[in-house]
Amino acid sequence: MIKSDIGLVGLAVMGENLALNLEQKGYRVSLYNRLRENSPQAVDSFLANKGKNKHFIGTHSPKEFIESLKSPRKILLMIRAGHPVDEMITTLLPFLKKGDTIIDGGNSDYRDTQRRENELREKRIFFVGCGISGGEEGALHGPSIMPGGSDEIKKEILPVLQNIAAHLDDGTPCCSWIGPDGSGHFVKTVHNGIE
């Protein structure tokens, strides 16, 4: 089975558009969304519509999702900030291995990001707090991206994020490594305040 370059959890509008952006830039993307009883499944709906005939792998369980990814795994969470992020980390953790990376692309509180990074570092799993700005159009065509985390993982993650980011006329990506722990989400908080 061909494995994906990156996995994305959360198929609301931002997640869908980032998945399409990643795929358009040449990445194979695995998709997972929390299953909801008695309602159409987001992964199936996406693959039948916007994601049809594209390089996506749809999955329906955390285990299937993680197993569909190349190692070391890169996982982008596009879910609501707060408890849902902790819940998803707990759900994915049993299937992760040393060296895997979780990127939180939501509007998390930077203090939560610092806590999560410390907790996951003990398990030798990287955590990147990543502000993403530009709304649904930006997500599809190129957002401004503000990642922060361990310098150890920077070389693995930054090229992917810079590839899908907006670019200036001179080709400079609108994405820089902000710094350690919660710095990416801290800068996104300041950005939102100014906005």
pTM, rounded to two decimals: 0.94
String of b and e for 93-105 (b: at least 16 CB within 10 Å)? bebbeeebbbbbb
Q: Catalytic site residues?
A: 188, 195
Written as tens digits, the pLDDT of the chain (195 aa) is 799 999 999 999 999 999 999 999 999 999 999 877 655 689 999 999 999 999 999 999 999 999 999 999 999 999 999 999 999 999 999 999 999 999 999 999 999 999 999 999 999 999 999 999 999 999 999 999 999 999 999 999 999 999 999 999 999 999 999 999 899 999 888 877 887
- Domain annotation covers residue 73: yes
CATH of residue 106: 3.40.50.720
pLDDT of residue 39: 54
pLDDT of residue 194: 81
pLDDT of residue 113: 96
- Domain annotation covers residue 158: yes
* Separation CA 102–CA 127 (nearest Å): 5
- Structural domain boundaries, residue 78: 6-194
Domain count, the chain: 1
- Domain annotation covers residue 103: yes
pLDDT of residue 37: 63
Alpha carbon of residue 176 to chain centroid:
16
- Domain annotation covers residue 71: yes
- Domain annotation covers residue 40: yes
Tokens of 28: 């194979």
Q: What are all long-range contacts of 22-25, with beta carbons under 8 Å and residues at least 24 apart? A: 22/160, 22/164, 23/51, 23/54, 23/55, 23/56, 25/163, 25/164
CA angle (42, 45, 51) in 5-degree steps:
105
- Domain annotation covers residue 1: no
